[in-house]
Chain A
């Protein structure tokens, strides 16, 4: 069982996903002030930064869940941007790209009226048009993979937070995303449940999934990330491999932030 079988194509000419100078405003307030980030196939980048720095907004813009005021989102050399004021039919055009940039949310957002298995089957059945029997088999395999095969018939409210988040990861995997975006996937969890979710994410990273993760789980950042990205006030102020980021941060604001996180 593996995720989207890593295609054995020759060396990539460019990044898997790229944010090019994204600008996002809410009224007069500029949440994203020209954010650029490129992630190569199989890379994992972790975004950290104080609350209100625009991390989540950045992720939602990348996931094509919010339109941007300026800049481009480029998925495998293709401009898939959603601009503010784009006309009708935009959502229909975006839908297929959204499933390739699938997001996992802080509060899981599982569908409460569906069992764990049905949650995972929704994407394959209604987006990929997989026949039901096959969708069920695939969903079951994915639940096994996140070690929840025995919870397939349970409804979300019957699962712990950690279990819910693992179902949410399986649900995202079911649409075979090219890139997975995690928005603080463990910050709504009780401390003892964080590990089980992080374990699954580390496995995904090891198997070559391209991931962008907003998280303050420093252990995950240490062990799985290729680079750590520091955001503050709507900008990326620093990007560095984990060892350098933690030991010798270049920016004074990064140093201050790391002090806060460590304590």
Chain B
């Protein structure tokens, strides 16, 4: 049996594959966004002056990094409804379960990344902000956060790509993401090579687009002025600058 290009192209462009890919992107993006928010909270708790809060945060990171992601997914989908009856209702979809499991899991990793990013900001920056009369909240928002974001973009990009691929685990809870679609189609026509290649192309495409977005984001955080004449740096000059006099 030779590689049938027609089957490959048909699968690649089929509605099922496109919707599977869309679901994969949607799940990964939503889980990553939630993970950043939760991770920021956990990272701040880990730096709290109140010891019990630090312990709670450290325990969270320990727990969610120690348990395999697949087990967390199965736990949320199968075990939680057993313990919480209301989760047996139809609103608790596979997508929601996968979102909750992946977001909680990813948040543990993001917490560590954000913590290291916060630590990377020179303490002198905080002093400089405070001596101008900025409040602690302003110092965090205006000074510490932008510098932290710059540091955490590359590792967060890594995490997002990992997360994109982890969404394939959700095939075990019958979420119709890209890999589930592929497996289901394969089980009908046994065209492994064509369909796996189609899935591969979709994953490559999705990851490539996000890598492109990441490099644009990194350029925005390069903090280099137009005057240095680097290409693409124009986007890095925030609107309030008036370079010319």
Contacts and interface: CB of A to CB of B under 8 A. Distances in A.
Contacts of A123: 132-134
Contact of A98 (B122, B125, B133): B133
A63 B135 CA distance: 14
A91 B135 contact: yes
B245 A152 contact: yes
Nearest to B237: A153
Prevailing SS type, chain A contact patch: helix
Contact of A126 (B122, B128, B138, B147): B138
Interface stretch (A43-51, A103-111, A232-240): A103-111
A63 B132 CA distance: 10
A150 interface: yes
Given A115-B225, A132-B240, A158-B227, A105 B147 contact: no
B127 A109 contact: yes
Interface of A: 60, 63, 65, 91-92, 95-96, 98-103, 105, 107, 109-113, 115, 117-118, 121-123, 126-127, 132, 136, 140, 149-150, 152-155, 157-158, 168, 171-172, 175
A118 B132 contact: no
Interface in B112-149: 122, 124-125, 127-136, 138, 142-143, 146-147
Contacts of A155: 223-225
A132 B240 CA distance: 9
20 contacts: A60-B127, A91-B136, A95-B130, A95-B134, A96-B133, A98-B133, A101-B131, A105-B127, A105-B128, A111-B143, A113-B150, A122-B129, A127-B132, A152-B242, A155-B224, A157-B223, A158-B227, A168-B128, A175-B132, A175-B133
A92 B129 CA distance: 13
B115 to A, nearest CB: 20
B59 to A, nearest CB: 26
Given A65-B131, A158-B225, A109 B122 contact: yes
Contact of B240 (A95, A96, A121, A172): A121
A54 B161 CA distance: 50
B223 A122 contact: no
Contacts, number: 107
B135 A95 contact: yes
B150 to A, nearest CB: 7
Interface in B91-125: 122, 124-125
B245 A149 contact: yes
Contact of A136 (B124, B131, B133, B240): B240
Contacts of A153: 225-227, 237, 241-243
B202 interface: no
B203 interface: no
B228 interface: yes
A60 B130 CA distance: 11
B208 to A, nearest CB: 28
Nearest to A102: B131
B85 interface: no
A113 B221 CA distance: 8
Contacts of B124: 105, 107, 109
- Name, among A63, A100, A111, A150, the residue most crowded by chain B CB atoms within 10 Å (CB to CB): A111
Nearest to A91: B136
Contact of B131 (A121, A154, A158, A172): A172
Contacts of B128: 105, 109-111, 168
4 A-B pairs with the lowest CB-CB distances in the bound complex, closest first:
A99-B133, A153-B243, A109-B128, A109-B124
Given A111-B125, A152-B245, A153-B242, A126 B224 contact: no
Contacts of A100: 133
A175 to B, nearest CB: 5
